[in-house]
Structure 1
């Protein structure tokens, strides 16, 4: 393939733009915020599981406390009924029976209230644990939100730079021979680098130094010959800096 030395030199300008675009694409995929968001998201998932377990513990205690309250209320109603019958008077046997039942109900009420108090203390501890995990959830969600905002700001900066680079790439590529750009793009898409400066006997793409026949081939090539590296197949652009 033939191309003027100037066209080949400007191919390096095109490569510089494409290298910058590749770096921007890599930067977009490797923002530290992305790793942070992933880490915090996994933390949030674990905290949400913990919150659910803490909420279930509170709900279970609430249900048990409610059951005890109903039982206590039933005992109170039964006591009020027996007390009313006792106050109304009656046969001695009936009065003794009511007194015995009231004593039994008092013991039962005391036992239920002690059990309820113990559950209420457990609920206080469970509610505190739930409150703590909710606070940790809120803090983690805030950290993720802040990281997402930084990510979005970085994305906006990267997009702006990409748009600027792409706006300069189009006219630059359009001003070069189509067959040269086609070859360059094919190599670049395969290896990430389509053209590199040949300098001090070394390919700027694979950094291998040429000797003997390989170096002689490059030296013997016409200025408008498009020379490629035998090792990496990239276009080796010769300029005054090449030392040939």
Structure 2
């Protein structure tokens, strides 16, 4: 009888633990599902924004960008910031910087090292 009571207590204890673990699993699953839904919504928004921007980019430039993006692991263009390509993180030498400064604003420039399209911004000072 004593063994039976002891076993029943153990079953009750283990059942409680299983229920507690299952509650944690259910909570984690709900949080994961909510995060996934949020990411899906963000991806849809970004995809729409990308389509709008891509529509305003010349076809040949978009084709070059897509080709580079495929070759460079998803990044076809990089910001030129403080004399450095943010794609490969290599600083441009003085000759390259002078070429960037001399180039017209609508000229498509490429990094000599990683070949990505360089994006000049106001912060780059070039």
Give the match for residue 22 of structure 2: 141
Equivalent residues in 2 for 1:1-244, closer than 5 Å: 120-189=1-70, 190-244=72-126
Q: 1:215 to 1:152 in 2, by over 3 A?
A: same
- CA deviations on 1:100-126 (whole Å, 9 max, x unpaired) are xxxxxxxxxxxxxxxxxxxx3222212
Segments of structure 2 that go 5 or more residues without pairing to the other structure are none
Structure (1 or 2) with the greater strand fraction = 2
Structure (1 or 2) with the greater helix fraction = 1
Pair member with larger Rg: 1
Segments of structure 1 that go 5 or more residues without pairing to the other structure are 1-119
- Structure 1 runs (4+) deviating above 6 angstroms are none
Kindly report the root-mean-square deviation, in angstroms, between the aligned alpha carbons of the 2 structures. 2.1
Between the aligned partners of 1:133 and 1:228, the Cα distance in structure 2 is: 64
Measured after TM superposition, the shift of residue 179 of structure 1 is 2.0
Between the aligned partners of 1:233 and 1:191, the Cα distance in structure 2 is: 13
TM score, norm. by length of structure 1: 0.46
Between the aligned partners of 1:157 and 1:200, the Cα distance in structure 2 is: 35
SS at match of 1:191: coil
Greater length-normalized contact order (CA 8 Å, ≥ 6 residues apart)? 1
Between the aligned partners of 1:181 and 1:157, the Cα distance in structure 2 is: 29
Between the aligned partners of 1:165 and 1:223, the Cα distance in structure 2 is: 27
